[in-house]
Amino acid sequence: MFPLIPMLLSSTQEESDNFENPVFIEANTLRDSYSPDFIMHDIKMVNSGQTFFSMYQAGPDGNQYIIQYSNTVPYQTNINSSIAAYIILPTTTVATGFCFSHDGLTLFCLGRNSNTRDYIYTFALTTPWDIVSLGADPSPNIYELVDSAVTGLAYADSLKRIAVSEDGLRLYMPVDSPVTGGNNILQYDLPSPNVLTGMTLNQIASVPYVDADNFDVGMIALLENDTKMVLQYDGYLVTFSLPVNGDSSGLVLLGNKSVIPLQNGVTNGGLGATIENNGDYYYGNELDATDYIIHKYSFQ
């Protein structure tokens, strides 16, 4: 486990509403009975820092998991051996990303099957951000994305991250594909909060200021009442304003692209990331053959 490494803001550094210049706080290994030989694909820190989730894309038992950890100290990364619950995801698809509704009562999971079809699975929770009540092998509601913008995409171009607006009426998924014309955000409108039945593709929004060859998105997040969208891709954090709350058609760059400095000799690509409204940012990396490391940064 890596020790806590406190870092203080210098007198020349200020709070960044645009999530620039991340300050490294700490890094700890994530080691439990599930992490060895599994492939971590996404992470989330939720519930005011009290709960942490990881998605494992594949394991030696052939199953895919979302695992819930409880934090005794909010927002910490030292979460080893604090497993609270887990669920097994459908094995008919490869799990690629997940998110929670703003109220924590709906879990959205992305998956892709062998026929290049993308799906969204939703799970209804009885307690916010708590999958314990689902049991180990729940039956989700399943929605196939059949729009021409996503059908037939190569796996490298497939949907791997998902976010939902605060009011639950819009879903967002980044995509980099010749089918959509480049680097885009797919925005779906939902008929009622967090209900996917009857949802429609509203627009394919262009993402400005992105290198066309490096739009491998590790995170998409809506912050501050859906007035800001934060993307993490290719080792950068980029913040955009949304002129109309929640509408991705008019993304405007705020500040500059912010390089994410890797710590402790970890050099390979990120395995999911998450950001909180308080300015804490976390991303996961593979440390070695059996361990993952969770980095924490602050912008405050």
User: Which residues pair with residue 126 across a beta bridge?
Assistant: none
Answer whether residue 11 is part of any domain: no
Cα–Cα distance for residue pair 208/145, rounded to 1 Å? 25
The helix or strand, by DSSP H or E, that contains position 28, with its residue range, turns out to be strand 23-30
Tokens linked to 222: 């809506």
- Is 70 within a domain? yes
* pTM across the whole model: 0.85
**In the block, residue with structure tokens 């051996």:** 81
Q: Total domain count for the chain?
A: 1
User: Residue 129: inside a domain, yes or no?
Assistant: yes
Place of tokens 């052939």: 62
Interatomic CA distance for residues 195 and 192, integer angstroms: 6
Asked, for residue 219, whether it belongs to a domain, the answer is yes
Is residue 38 included in any domain, yes or no? yes
Centre a 10 Å sphere on the Cβ of residue 144 and count the other Cβ atoms it contains: 11
**Domain holding 212: CATH number?**
2.120.10
- Considering just the CA atoms, what is the radius of gyration of the chain in Å? 18
The answer as to whether 4 is a domain residue is no
Residue 203 lies in a domain: yes
User: E strands of 113-266, at which residues?
Assistant: 118-124, 141-145, 163-164, 170-177, 182-189, 200-206, 217-223, 228-233, 236-241, 252-259
Q: Which domain holds residue 205?
A: 23-298
Amino acid (one-letter) located at 234: D
Tens-binned pLDDT, residue by residue, of the chain (300 aa) = 333 323 322 223 334 466 777 788 887 777 665 555 567 788 888 888 888 888 877 665 667 888 888 887 888 887 765 677 888 887 667 788 899 999 999 999 988 776 667 889 999 999 999 998 887 778 888 888 887 777 666 666 668 889 999 999 999 998 876 666 667 888 999 999 999 999 999 888 888 766 655 566 778 888 888 888 888 876 677 888 887 778 888 888 887 766 666 555 444 445 677 777 667 887 776 666 566 778 788 875
Tell me, yes or no, whether 8 lies in a domain: no
Sign of CA dihedral 198, 149, 155, 101: negative
Question: How many C-beta neighbours within 10 Å does residue 207 have?
Answer: 22
b/e code 18-35 from CB counts within 10 Å (16+ = b): bbbbbbbbbbbbbbbebb
Token pair for residue 167? 């009011």
